[in-house]
Structures are given as structure tokens and as C-alpha cells.
Amino acid sequence: MKRKSSLISHQMSSQRKNIVILAIISLALGVAITSQAALLAEAVQRIFVEKASFSSVVMLLGILLAVMAVRTLLSYGNGKVGLQMAASAKTNMRAVVLQNLTHASMPSTLRGQTGGKVSIALDAVDEADSYFSQYMPRMMEAAIIPILILAVTFIQHANTGFIMLFTAPFIPMFMILVGLKTKNKSEEKYAQLAEFSGTFLDSLQGLVTLKIFGRAHRQQQEIERSSLGYRDATMGILKIAFTNTFMLESIVMLSIGIVALELAIQLLVFKSMTFHTAFLVLLLVPEFYSLLKNTGTAFHSGRTSMGAVRKVEQMLAETSSRSAQTEGEEGEYTSDRNDRMAQPEGSRTAYTEVIPMPPSIELDNVRFRYAPDSFELVAGRISLGPGEHIAIVGKSGSGKTTLLHLIAGLLKPASGAVLVNGSLLSQYDETAWFERVSYITQHPYIFAGTFAENIAIGAGRKVSRAEIEQAAEEAGLAAVAAQLEQGFDTFVGEGGRGLSGGEKQRLALARAFLKRPAIILFDEPTVGLDLHTERVLQRSIATLAKTATMITVAHRLYTIQHADNILFMDNGVLVDSGRHDELLERLPQYAEMVDVQRKGGLA
């Protein structure tokens, strides 16, 4: 292996104890193998050559049996340690992957196929198994036992030792050649598998849409294409593996043949060695080669594992490098800002304390792009007072949601800054910040679980049933729960009962009632809900917003008119801000928008 993967070497260092145990067991195994051969040769010598009576060799045969049993036990022990290492390595790797996914920034979370990520977290990590359960124990055995056998053979009969020494290097040489070929193949296999999983998951999730648009058949073909691609990649690897086995077997057979021929010549023609020695050597030689051969197979699975582990590493590197990049950019801004504002020492450390209720928010020349040469959001200087209710308005695609995400810290500005209570948002501890924020989107995620559990996740702590029911009541959900078959214990989300759009948003509100946030981000429904639901939503939001700074992506004229400050977005630019009557007066575009809404009857 050219460059050991950092994930693997990290696992190695945490498994030092197991590696030492592997080495000790391998050494004991080597001693058992050579003793077994010596005892067997001795027994055959006594029984067949010296014609000794059975009773005189009973003791010897007994010891032989015991050694065989010990050898089996040691092999089992080695396997067991390998499995243990694999299990803990996989657990650790999955933890790293999960942690990385949960701590990844919002844009990187949204990027890529979910199915692909699942395939990396599950299948690729599973493939790492054979590195620890096969490759490591076999390599340890290969590093210790053949040397022991070689030493014994040299002592017994140097010629054979030389033959072994000469032929053995062909095996690792060959393995390296084949390994180099399989490396690329197994990486290719992972790319194929990730694509296949991704296509499959996407198709399943979008099945209804695909059927409606008559695309189900096309998608079926797509799945077929990517599954065939995966099959070809797997077959490619198998082909190499079989050729590999064939070649290894040939080398081993040839080598043993040469040794046997040499022994026969020495024994029969030159009569220069005893039967005992010849037999012992002939027993040891196949053990030697079979160990090297096993190593070949283990090497192959080690290679496949490495391909999989690289995929995991690549994913980890992608997410972490992206967040490092944005942090770096903000770092520059920090020092700049610190100079200008002459902030006291220590202000660069993360704020882990609770953010005072409700905070003031400032935007300072924020710029943001999703990708180079694409939509750009530009917002100048603007202050939002504590407890204010802000409405972001503008045409669809003008950047309202993007601005909301920037204020929420879900996206990081490319330049400029978002300040909360006068300090950079990025300096706050992420967990502490999100503990104070509730984001009520139009499509809140409903987890597979009971209705009550889905509300309870809002609290971020253990909550009583009474608290959950209280929150549901406040969010106008009590009547909905009463109608469910099993009330609060009804299973909702994936595989459970479906919820309507209005019910989902009220569920998000109930979560917020448990949380009592200092900042509320609200994506107002664009579609008209029934009058009753609309009223309940409005009333609940108003209750929540009494103790919070609330920023709403607003569509209702009512919300806009009552806002303390309206941010008017146009084509990615924060054009103006002010109260309803102010904007009506000085911003014709705003007056036009209000007019359209009035005529549309949305108020």
C-alpha cells in the first residue's frame, strides 16, 4: 500500500493493543505449526521407518493431537481479534461519518444524492471490515510465521531454504501488480454503487411524480443502466481476483514441485539426507506457501477495502474543506472588523452563553453566491431591533429565502457579516445559537415516529407528556390530535399517517412553543389555507413572536402591513427597507406589489 489512508491509520493507532495481541498469537501460531510438522515427522519416522510399537508412540501422538488443537485455537483467536478490530473500526468510522454529516454546513448537506451518502455510510464502511478482519491478521501472520518456517528449514536443509527464498518474492511481487489494478477497479465499483443507490432512492422517493409525468418507465431504464454498470464493475474485480488466484496457485505448485524434486534427488540419488529431515521439510514447505497465498487473497480484499475507505475519506474531506474555506474567509473579515470597531480582547472566542432574548440583528454589506457566476445576493447596511417583526418581501426568486438563511446562519456570507447583539454570528457557538432559533418552513420535516415524538424534538431536552400536549394546544393542534386514530401516539412521517400542509406547519409551531425561541424565522405559506387554519396559525405565531425577534418571508398583506420593518428584495438586491407607509410613498415597485396583492385578494 503506497499511502496509508489517514482514516485507517487513525484506527490503527487506537487499536494498538489488539495489534500486539495479533502479533503474539501469530508468533505462537508459528511455533505450533513448526512443532506440529516436527512431531508428525517424528511419529512417521518411528512408526514406518523404525517400526516402533504403537504403545511406544502413543505419548508422541497425544502431544501431536494437543498441538493440533492449540493451533486451531490460535487460528480462531486471530480471527476473533480481527473481527473485534473490524467491529470497533466500523463503529468509529460510522460515528465519524455521522458526525461529519450532522455538523456539515447547510449548502454541503443539500448537495449530492442522499442515496449516495447512504451507500457511503453503510456499504463503504462495511467494506472496510475486511481490512481489519482479513488483511490485518493475515499480514501479521505473513510477517512472522514464514520467517520462522524459513529459519527451521535452513537449519534442517539449507538447499530447500534457498529455493524458498528465491521463489517466495514472486508471490508478493505478483500481488502488488494485481493490487495496483484492483485499486482503480474497486474505486470504480464504489462510484457505480453510489450512483446506483442514488438513482434508486431518488426514483422511489419521486415515484408518484414520475408516474404522473409518465416517466416511470424511463426511470426504470435508468435504474437498469446503473445496475448494469455496477454489475460490470463487480465482474471486473472478480475477473482480476480469479486470475490472481490462478496465477498464485501456479506459482505455489511450481515452487513446491521444485522443492520435492530436490528432496527426492538428495534422498534417493545422493542419499545425503535422512527420511525424517526430508519429510519434515516437505511438511513445512506447503505451510510456508499456503501462508503467502492466503496473504495474497487478504491483500486483494485489503485493496478493495482501501478503495471503499478512500470514498469515505473523500466525502469527509469534501465537507470539512468546504467549511474550512468559509471559515477562512470570515476569519479575514473578523480581524478587519475588530480593527475598525476596536473590540476588546477575547471577543474572538466563541460565545457559548445563552443569547439574550430577543436579539438585535445587523447586516453589514453581506454578499453571497451559491456558485460562481450565478445568482448573487447583495445587502447593504441594515439594523433590525430586538423584538422587531421583520417582513422580507419581493418577487419569487428575488432572494428572500436566501436572505433568511443568511440571517439564520444556515448560509455563510462570502463577504460582509451578520451581527447578532453586536457580535459576529459566526463567533457564536453553533449549538447555542440554534438553541435560540425556530425556523418554521412551509415544509417542515416530519420524522418517522409518533405525533408526540415529532413535537418533542423541538425542545431539545426531555419533556413531559403534559408539556407536549400544552404546546400542541397552543399551536392549535389539539383538535387534530384528537381526530387521529391513536391520538398523540399515532405514527406519522415515513411509513406512518400523512399530514396536511397546514397540520405540518402547526406541528412546526408546536415544536417552537416547546422551544420558546428568541429568534423566529417564518416562511409564510404561499398557498391559501382554510380560514380557520389561517387564523390559528396567525394567532399562534403572534403569541410566540411576543418574546422574539421574528423574520418572516411574507406573502400576506396583513403580515406586511403590520411589520416593524419591511425588507424589499429585487433580483438579489436588498433595495430598500422601512415601514409599510414609508415604502408605499417612496418605492413605486413596492406600491405596485401591494396593489397586485390587493387585487389578487391575498390580503
What residues line the site for ligand ADP (CB under 6 A)? 110, 370, 374-375, 394, 396-402
Q: Which amino acid is at 10?
A: H
Residue with cell 504403545: 55
Nearer to ligand ADP, 110 or 155 (CB): 110
Q: In angstroms, what is the minimal distance from the CB of 523 to ligand ADP?
A: 8
CA 121 to each of CA 9, 187, 204: distance values in angstroms, whole numbers, following the listed order:
19, 15, 19
Report how far residue 377's alpha carbon sits from residue 413's, in angstroms, rounded to the nearest whole number.
9
Residue with cell 512408526: 47
Q: In angstroms, what is the minimal distance from the CB of 340 to ligand ADP?
A: 29
Q: In angstroms, what is the minimal distance from the CB of 179 to ligand ADP?
A: 41
The 3-state secondary structure of 500-545 reads CHHHHHHHHHHHHHHHCCCEEEEECCCCCCCHHHHHHHHHHHHHHH
The 3-state secondary structure of 163-176 reads HHHHHCCHHHHHHH
Residues 26 and 145: beta-carbon distance below 8 Å: yes
Phi, psi (degrees; rounded to nearest 5) at 133? -80, -25
Nearer to ligand ADP, 77 or 198 (CB): 198
Q: In angstroms, what is the minimal distance from the CB of 204 to ligand ADP?
A: 23
Paired strand residues for 438: 520
DSSP 177-193: HHHHHHHHHHHHHHHHH
Q: In sequence order, which residues have a C-beta less than 8 Å from that of residue 597 and are 6 or more positions away?
A: 557, 603
Between β-strands 423-424 and 415-420, what pairing exists: parallel, antiparallel or unpaired?
A: antiparallel
Q: In angstroms, what is the minimal distance from the CB of 25 to ligand ADP?
A: 53
Nearer to ligand ADP, 161 or 394 (CB): 394
Terminal Cα distance for the chain, rounded: 68
Grid cell digits, residue 491: 405514527
Nearer to ligand ADP, 102 or 374 (CB): 374
Of all helices (H) and strands (E), which one includes residue 144? Answer: helix 136-156
Q: Is 428 helix (H, G, I), strand (E, B) or coil?
A: strand
Q: In angstroms, what is the minimal distance from the CB of 551 to ligand ADP?
A: 13
Q: In terms of Cα–Cα distance, which of 399, 341, 345 is closest to 369? A: 399
Report how far residue 296's alpha carbon sits from residue 139's, in angstroms, rounded to the nearest whole number.
9
CA 591 to each of CA 15, 584, 586, 595, 597: distance values in angstroms, whole numbers, following the listed order:
69, 5, 9, 6, 10
Nearer to ligand ADP, 199 or 401 (CB): 401
Q: In angstroms, what is the minimal distance from the CB of 234 to ligand ADP?
A: 34
Report how far residue 342's alpha carbon sits from residue 348's, in angstroms, rounded to the nearest whole number.
12
Paired strand residues for 437: 519
Report how far residue 330's alpha carbon sits from residue 336's, in angstroms, rounded to the nearest whole number.
10
Nearer to ligand ADP, 25 or 393 (CB): 393
Nearer to ligand ADP, 349 or 374 (CB): 374
Q: Please state the length of the chain.
A: 603
The 3-state secondary structure of 449-482 reads EEHHHHHHCCCCCCCCHHHHHHHHHHCCCHHHHH
Q: In angstroms, what is the minimal distance from the CB of 450 to ligand ADP?
A: 32
Nearer to ligand ADP, 214 or 372 (CB): 372
Nearer to ligand ADP, 21 or 390 (CB): 390
Nearer to ligand ADP, 166 or 370 (CB): 370
Nearer to ligand ADP, 98 or 110 (CB): 110
Q: In angstroms, what is the minimal distance from the CB of 374 to ligand ADP?
A: 6
Nearer to ligand ADP, 337 or 556 (CB): 556
Q: In angstroms, what is the minimal distance from the CB of 16 to ligand ADP?
A: 44
Nearer to ligand ADP, 386 or 501 (CB): 501
Q: In angstroms, what is the minimal distance from the CB of 403 to ligand ADP?
A: 7
Q: In angstroms, what is the minimal distance from the CB of 369 to ligand ADP?
A: 9
CA angle 257, 262, 265 (to 5 degrees): 125
Q: In angstroms, what is the minimal distance from the CB of 575 to ligand ADP?
A: 13
Nearer to ligand ADP, 45 or 398 (CB): 398
The 3-state secondary structure of 243-311 reads HHHHHHHHHHHHHHHHHHHHHHHHHHHCCCCCHHHHHHHHHHHHHHHHHHHHHHHHHHHHHHHHHHHHH
Q: In angstroms, what is the minimal distance from the CB of 401 to ligand ADP?
A: 3
